[in-house]
Amino acid sequence: MYKLSLFIAVGLLFVSCGKKEQSGDDFSKPTTEEATATKADPSTYDPNRGEGKYDKVDLGATLDQAMAAEGEKVAGVKCTSCHKITDERLVGPGWHGVTSRHQPQWIMNFITNPDPMINKDPKVQAQLEICLVRMPNQGLNDTEARSILEYMRKIDGVK
């Protein structure tokens, strides 16, 4: 009986360690969907808007402190393991100055759906060559993304 149990255990171990399908967790390599998106016509890409559902994002003249505080909380869970709030690179680029380098709709489109922009935006592609890791889609909803944008504005000194 002992030999049979040992044989079954070794057999299960062998099967579980066999050839595995790629899980898609390697963020440095594009998925099939991302690779297909790369072949899209880059002449239709707007570098000021990015690619996504946000055509225009209206920002207030002053900072929404409550929204920025919420954005800081969301960023603490989803973003700061890869991004510093300074201009220093961690895994991804630092956030300081991002709101002066990019339009609000570009930022919203990138943080809610980064893959098409990674495939088409020359600035993002240049950043990818430096950082070597594709930004994963964090599944942010509209409210979370807008809160993070407000937090980025706070980092950049909007009062």
Q: Delimit the domains of the chain by residue range.
A: 61-159
One pLDDT digit (tens) per residue for the chain, 159 residues = 655 554 454 444 443 444 344 444 444 444 444 444 444 456 778 888 999 999 999 999 999 999 999 999 999 999 999 999 999 999 999 999 999 999 999 999 999 999 999 999 999 999 999 999 999 999 999 999 999 999 999 999 999
User: Residue 34, exposed/middle/buried by CB under 10 A (0-12, 13-18, 19+)?
Assistant: middle
CATH architecture of 61-159: Orthogonal Bundle (1.10)
Q: Hey, is 83 helix, strand or coil?
A: strand
Return the structure tokens found at 1: 């009986």
pTM listed for this prediction: 0.73
